[in-house]
Structure 1
């Protein structure tokens, strides 16, 4: 408040007091004290940034508005010891120096521990196969090619003795499965590994998972070209599933494949399907609306006709692979999957960088192509 305004307030107070009747001297003294206190409060409020309403008279300050109030004048005339003065909207405005959180860091943020990774696909195809180890870079095996079975009675009409017995025949082929290397790596600064205790463990887990996902795909569908494994679904590594029969459900189709395997003296021990196809089969109901593969409220091991089911995105939606996996193929580990860190890769030493490498060497032997039946729903 300006000095002139302060003087005006005091002057008005004095004028009000002079107009009071001398018979109210005691009351006047109390009123003067109240007015002085009121003036001081008005000064304090205006110093804090309070202003007159936008619709008020131009130039009116807070003190002008209060002193011109009819309620105040009535009180000073002897009507009561206090009065209420309502300020119009806009009279009290927010200070320009208000402290708000917008754009200001006033407190430290809460940090959720760890690193939120993308979902990891389960490696499942390898789990269906027996696993061995090899100390060589090539795995060979002899496969029976054709067996001509002429077993029968010793007989040459009309004799049953002293005649040539039936002769059968077998041919063989030598098959080979080269050891292949699956690997990937990622560069990371030495400072990150030193300053973030979780980073090394996170990278190990992520790289290992990525390698196992690729291993699943190679075992199942590697085409054998270049340095790829020759997977189960490669040409010559499986036979086609029986032709779809009109009116069959997916459960019916799988059962017909089981029968085809049994015809070749092999029992199915695994069914590999896409998760969406497995969900479709689980939704199959009877005429009464009951689920055929178990109640939704009960936890059951996934299976069809008593054979375990593996739902994996390693196989395309709409396709299935039924197999006698234990009899049909085998994985050979030359070097099991491992993680290595090197600070001397290229110019890592002078750049304070590290190379994190995840690598494995393995071979796949498919002994019996007829052990795997592949088809479409």
Structure 2
């Protein structure tokens, strides 16, 4: 029986070698498969040796029980791993029940032979590294607040560093009804020159030549993003520019603005709506201009739209 014992020991060695192959990160999946196939061929030889000796032992002892040494045939369409074939072999079972045997334990999960497709970032022995991800075209951009202020203002071009214009700063209208040969009241008006400096908004990006070569669409995407950055800063300057170089003078920093009637502190739907309408009235009654746009922050608009009266009813008929 020394040949049987030697065969069982060799099978145990094969199991250890199989484990080492699966853990070896320096081997490619193809190299691992080649080595495991060789071990599988050796396993079959050892199994045949054990089966031959067991058959002889049954004949000598007059046993008629069917041989258990042969590996069970796999169902049609099933592909079994090397480890599974070892565990289901009669030699392995015989070794477990024998008095002079060694236990063979082989664990090989998620190998190429088992047909399991794990995550792409799988480690050694995982078929996920062979599965290429699906690449969707384009770039998913970050979202920013919609730009609106520049579209509300008149636009033009200049080649100068400043823009000068004349305004009527005062108008004294003493026009009245007079008698014949009576004194005619004088009408006085005052003109003043105003000057606004031209500001400069700029940005810069430093992509590599390889980046443009490897991703053709990146050039157009970067150009659009740089223009968008300038438009965002333009929006901020048109509203909040301080007028101190290099900034321009924004709308909220101009002289002659109506006094704010509502502040953010304690803002309610009623206060917001009344404040907006009071400012519209002030423009009509004092400046004699007709407002044609309202710029409002989304959270303030939410406060207005969700405002309710004492009966719990929305002022604007509900947001939906």
Q: Which TM-score tier does this pair reach, normalised by the shorter chain?
A: 0.5 to 0.7
* Residue 245 of structure 2: aligned partner: 226
- Pairing 1:99–2:76 present: no
Structure 1 14/276 Cα, relative in aligned 2: closer, same or farther at 3 Å? same
Q: 2:200 aligns with which of 173, 181, 186?
A: 181
Q: Which structure would you say has the larger Rg?
A: 1
Query: Superposition pairs for residues 1-377 of structure 1, below 5 Å?
Result: 3-5=3-5, 13-14=55-56, 16-20=58-62, 31=64, 34-35=66-67, 38-41=68-71, 49-50=86-87, 62-65=93-96, 93-96=105-108, 99=111, 101=118, 102-103=122-123, 104=126, 105-154=129-178, 160-236=179-255, 238-242=257-261, 248-264=270-286, 265-297=288-320
CA deviations over 1:118-146 (Å, ceiling 9, x no partner): 10322111111122333544322111112
**1:259 match: secondary structure:** helix
- Return the offset for 1:285: 2.6
Contact 2:83-2:107 at 8 Å conserved across structures? no
Give the root-mean-square deviation of aligned CA atoms. Answer: 3.6
Larger strand fraction of residues: 1
Count residues with an aligned counterpart: 248
Where is the helix percentage greater, Structure 1 or Structure 2? Answer: 2
Change (3 A) 1:183 1:12: closer
TM-score (norm 2): 0.65
Q: Confirm or deny: 8 A CA contact 1:51 1:92 kept in the other structure.
A: no
- Separation of aligned partners in 2, 1:106 and 1:93: 27
Are the equivalent residues in 2 in contact too, given 1:251–1:281 (CA < 8 A)?
Answer: yes
State the secondary structure of the residue aligned to 2:252: coil
Q: Of the two structures, which has the highest relative contact order with CA contacts closer than 8 Å and spacing of 6 or more? A: 1
Q: Is the 8 A contact 1:242 1:260 kept in 2?
A: no
The alpha carbon displacement at 1:215 in A equals 0.4
Q: Is the 8 A contact 1:220 1:231 kept in 2?
A: yes
Deviation digits for residues 89-120 of structure 1 (CA, Å, limit 9, x no counterpart): xx885435862743141211222321122103
Q: State the alpha-carbon separation in 2 of the partners of residues 61 and 132 from structure 1.
A: 89
How has the CA–CA distance of structure 1 residues 127 and 293 changed in structure 2, closer, same or farther, with 3 Å as cutoff? Answer: farther
Q: Report how far residue 249 of structure 1 moved.
A: 2.7
Query: Structure 1, residues 202-258: CA drift from partner, whole Å, max 9, x if none?
Result: 1011111111010011111111111211111115263323478x9953111211111
Call closer, same or farther: CA 1:120–1:198 in 2, change over 3 Å.
Answer: farther
Structure 2 gaps of 5+ residues are: 8-48, 73-81, 113-117
